[in-house]
Chain A
Amino acid sequence: MSSNDKTTDTLSTQDARMGQGADDRFNSPLREAFGSTPFILTKFDKFMNWVRGSSMFMLQFGIACCSIEMIHTYAIKHDLDRFGAGVPRSSPRQADVMIVPGTIVSKFAPRMKRVYDQMPEPKFVVGMGSCTISGGPFQEGYNVIKGAEEVIPVDIHVPGCPPRPEALIYGVAKLQERVANGESAPVTVKPYEMEQFGDLEQDEIVQKLADQIDEDDLVMRYNWTDSP
């Protein structure tokens, strides 16, 4: 009896709560920071947002010049992994953040939308470079979509041509902050949506293409004059 009392006296409350046999290796600084109690009280949503922001799986998605700077951001020296966002996934189904690094042209926009649709919710988008904001230096081209937001919602815009790796890291850090706060991009009405060809308004161009495209083919219709 007496020996047992003695043990209780020397043990800290924290150790006592952890119980016997707990391995030292589990005693992380975080664990110590919680103090005597192993329990924390938080809202589940808040916890999930913190988790999401702290461990992001990026989509390995290269389009144009910006993708080179994006690779530099992942690679040695800048090392995006330090910020908990350095695991590029090749499959959209395993990713939850898409960095759009480059100019989007008419042929690619439907494919990008498809890749975006394949990512599981919740998903976030970082637009990298001026092209994803407005079309950048190529804005006046006959084939260039005037910004990624014409097709998919974008959470963070990183300006630059191309943005430096530091700028992209800042953008990702900002996204993490927003995600941790439970904020996401405002839902904007996107001008270009994928539709079935048969559902398009029957006008001159649709009638002209009618023998080339099946009614149930997915198409994207560009009304260039409506672009901002």
Chain B
Amino acid sequence: MSLEEPRDAKPEIGVTDDGLDYDALAALLGDTLLDREDHVTTEGFVVRPDDVQDALRTLKQEAGFDHCSCVTAQEYQDRYESIYHLKKYDDPTHELSVVVPTSRDDPVSQSANDVYRTADWHEREAYDLVGIEYEDHPDMRRILLPETWQGHPLGRDYDQTQPQVVTLREHANPLQEDHMADDTDTMFINVGPHHPATHGVLHLKTVLDGEQVADVEPDIGYLHRCEEQLCQQCTYRHQIMPYPDRWDYTANLINEWSYARAAETLADIDVPEYAQVLRTMSAELSRMAGHFLALGTFALDVYGEFTAIFQYAFRDREIAQDILEDLTGQRMMHNYFRLGGVVWDLPNPREEFFEKTRDFLDDLPAKLDEYHDMITSNEIFQVRCVNTGVLEPDVAKEYGATGPVARGSGIDYDLRRDDPYGYYPELDWDVVTEDGCDNYARVLVRMQEVEESAKIVEQCLDLLEDWPEDERTLQSNVPRTIKPEPDTEIYSAIENAKGELGIYIRSDGTDKPARFKIRSPSFSNLQALPEMSNGEYVADLIATLGSLDIILGEVDR
């Protein structure tokens, strides 16, 4: 942007050859800094609630923390706390948490919305579920729960049995006076919550000026299933693992890794190499399944293609699901990962599994050519997608966009490579980026990612095939009950099919987390929708929404 000063050539403050120098960062904040906490993978800088903007702005502009990944809110016995998890798009291993405590009597804290646009929704969620209010926030309303909800359910003294009243406001005449601004002839229109193009139960409050979108406001929360509360009620060892499958329910298995990674780092659990290979392979198969679904439904959205492409995509997704079923025993909700490994080995006879998976991979190039024939080289498709739903890279960063959405805008950011985990660093594959910034680029990224995933799966198959029989360790020794040290806090993320899926856990010394927070990529990506579709045609709004590939289970959690 022209208003921004050109970036200095000198290195950002705090960057050293072996990671971040937190002392230098602390010196940068000077008096604003009240205290420093240790957060397992990073440090927490405690600042006063009325210094939030200053501190964050300094860290963003001078230390290069341009990615506000997540905002976690929680209530302690004596205080409320908001944590801003900051990262860098250039190097996501450079992390920093900014901790903002507020009093219990008057939980008001400065909004970070002016520094990071993405803080808008995150802070609304914090207000909705925990009850912290943010000063200067442009739109302090509930986001997930209905507007008439009483109480803040993740607060300490919430009574779950109290009755609630939820309204159904009807929309009578869309041309009614109260939907019209002065001197314009705009029309208000609801898209969803039950609508074939919203990929689930999303509600878009749209204002149209003729055929063009004057304003669009996503209204979410129609699938808010209290995942965070439920995870806080479950024990670390086995009970939490089934839930991640249900967040992003098109590419289920990868989500398990997010919890596995966070809990394993928290409790210091090793994972045997053989299990890492199995994890990597199954996660990539799952990513392929997710991308096939994204492709099929996108074709359905863009030119109502229910016959060929949609069915072709489901044919291929079906095969990926079959392979995963052979491996895990379930078509969708695999529950395959365990802390410290995976639950079981490849199915017997192993040769059959290898053959089946290799057949799938061998057929893939021809199928992808077919997709390119039918979709990406189709003129109608190109007219609908090229230069629509444009998301400039700096805007994408402002909104914390990750995954194929960010990579479609030319942001070279993939946690599998940049914050390595699993077996990815040992394998030969590439991060796909496209510079188009439009709907077309996002589709291309997903299709190429399928190829990259196939490459990864193929290498994993080779490794598994040659793995000596007596070294096939599936799980390391993990205590039956896991009780991390009290007040240990961790935020860690993995790359799922939609982007950066992060988990924040705070332990309180029991076998259940005291706070479990999910940072879902779709939540942040969806937030950029108004930016991408205001001023465009309403038909392009639908295409843009499709190309964002949001999953409501993950948006609402």
A219-B314 Cα distance, complex, nearest whole Å: 39
Contacts of B367 in A (CB 8 A): none
* A69 and B332 form a contact (CB under 8 A): yes
A205-B195 Cα distance, complex, nearest whole Å: 32
Closest partner residue, chain A, to B318 (CB atom): A77
A206-B167 Cα distance, complex, nearest whole Å: 12
Closest partner residue, chain A, to B249 (CB atom): A65
A195-B485 Cα distance, complex, nearest whole Å: 50
Question: Given A143-B153, A144-B225, are A111 and B332 neighbors across the interface (CB < 8 Å)?
Answer: no
* A142 and B160 form a contact (CB under 8 A): yes
* A209 and B165 form a contact (CB under 8 A): yes
Contact with B along A137-160 (1 / 0, CB 8 A): 110111110000000000000000
Query: Closest Cβ of chain A: how far from B233's Cβ, in Å?
Result: 7
* A219 and B222 form a contact (CB under 8 A): no
A64, A75, A108, A220: the one within 8 Å of B553 (CB):
A64
Within 8 A of B (CB), among A199-227: 200, 203, 205-206, 208-209, 212-213, 217-225
A111-B226 Cα distance, complex, nearest whole Å: 19
* A205 and B225 form a contact (CB under 8 A): no
B230 at interface by CB-CB < 8 Å: yes
B145 at interface by CB-CB < 8 Å: yes
A219-B327 Cα distance, complex, nearest whole Å: 47
* B163 and A205 form a contact (CB under 8 A): yes
* A107 and B166 form a contact (CB under 8 A): yes
Query: Closest Cβ of chain A: how far from B542's Cβ, in Å?
Result: 13
A90 at interface by CB-CB < 8 Å: yes
Contact with B along A152-194 (1 / 0, CB 8 A): 0000000001101000000000000000000000000000001
Query: Closest Cβ of chain A: how far from B340's Cβ, in Å?
Result: 23
* B243 and A137 form a contact (CB under 8 A): yes
* B193 and A221 form a contact (CB under 8 A): no
* A141 and B222 form a contact (CB under 8 A): no
A62 at interface by CB-CB < 8 Å: yes
A162-B421 Cα distance, complex, nearest whole Å: 30
A114 at interface by CB-CB < 8 Å: yes
B242 at interface by CB-CB < 8 Å: yes
List the one stretch of A21-29, A36-44, A98-106 in contact with chain B: A98-106
How many residues on the A side are at the interface (Cβ–Cβ under 8 A)? 57
* B222 and A111 form a contact (CB under 8 A): yes
Contacts of A68 in B (CB 8 A): 249-250, 293, 332
Contacts of A219 in B (CB 8 A): 148, 165-168
B199 at interface by CB-CB < 8 Å: yes
Contacts of A53 in B (CB 8 A): none
Contact with B along A111-153 (1 / 0, CB 8 A): 1101100000000000000000000011011111000000000
Within 8 A of A (CB), among B182-225: 193-196, 199-201, 221-225
Query: Closest Cβ of chain B: how far from A170's Cβ, in Å?
Result: 15
Contacts of B552 in A (CB 8 A): 64
Closest partner residue, chain A, to B142 (CB atom): A107
A63, A76, A224: the one within 8 Å of B314 (CB):
A76
A220-B246 Cα distance, complex, nearest whole Å: 27
* B194 and A218 form a contact (CB under 8 A): no
A103, A110, A164, A221: the one within 8 Å of B223 (CB):
A103
Query: Closest Cβ of chain B: how far from A101's Cβ, in Å?
Result: 10
Q: Which of A76, A92, A105 has the most CB of B within 10 A?
A: A105
* B166 and A71 form a contact (CB under 8 A): no
Q: Which of B166, B193, B246, B333 has the most CB of A within 10 A?
A: B166
* A63 and B224 form a contact (CB under 8 A): no
* A72 and B229 form a contact (CB under 8 A): no
B146, B242, B243: the one within 8 Å of A106 (CB):
B146
Question: Given A110-B168, A219-B167, are A105 and B161 neighbors across the interface (CB < 8 Å)?
Answer: no
Closest partner residue, chain B, to A65 (CB atom): B249
A57 at interface by CB-CB < 8 Å: no
Contact with A along B132-168 (1 / 0, CB 8 A): 0000000000000111111001000010111111111
A206-B333 Cα distance, complex, nearest whole Å: 40
B170 at interface by CB-CB < 8 Å: yes
B10 at interface by CB-CB < 8 Å: no
Closest partner residue, chain B, to A161 (CB atom): B333
A163-B162 Cα distance, complex, nearest whole Å: 33
B311 at interface by CB-CB < 8 Å: yes
Contacts of B169 in A (CB 8 A): 217-218
A71, A111, A208: the one within 8 Å of B193 (CB):
A111
Contact with B along A46-87 (1 / 0, CB 8 A): 000000000000001111110111011001110000000000
* A223 and B200 form a contact (CB under 8 A): no
Within 8 A of A (CB), among B312-337: 312, 314-315, 317-318, 321, 331-333
A97 at interface by CB-CB < 8 Å: no
Contacts of A108 in B (CB 8 A): 193, 201, 222-223
A138-B318 Cα distance, complex, nearest whole Å: 27
Closest partner residue, chain B, to A208 (CB atom): B150
Closest partner residue, chain A, to B310 (CB atom): A75
* B165 and A205 form a contact (CB under 8 A): yes
Within 8 A of A (CB), among B216-270: 221-227, 229-230, 233, 242-243, 246, 249-250
* Further pairs besides A143-B225, A197-B165: 4, Cβ < 8 Å: A63-B223, A142-B160, A197-B167, A209-B165
Listed from nearest, the 6 A-B pairs whose CB atoms lie closest are A141-B226, A65-B249, A75-B314, A110-B168, A108-B222, A138-B225
Listed in ascending order, the chain A residues whose CB lies under 8 Å from chain B are: 60-65, 67-69, 71-72, 75-77, 90, 92, 102-103, 105-112, 114-115, 137-138, 140-144, 161-162, 164, 194, 197, 200, 203, 205-206, 208-209, 212-213, 217-225
Q: List 24 A-B contacts (CB under 8 A).
A: A61-B194, A62-B199, A62-B200, A64-B223, A65-B332, A76-B318, A108-B201, A108-B223, A110-B167, A111-B194, A137-B246, A140-B230, A140-B233, A141-B229, A141-B230, A200-B165, A205-B150, A213-B167, A218-B167, A218-B169, A219-B167, A221-B166, A224-B162, A224-B163
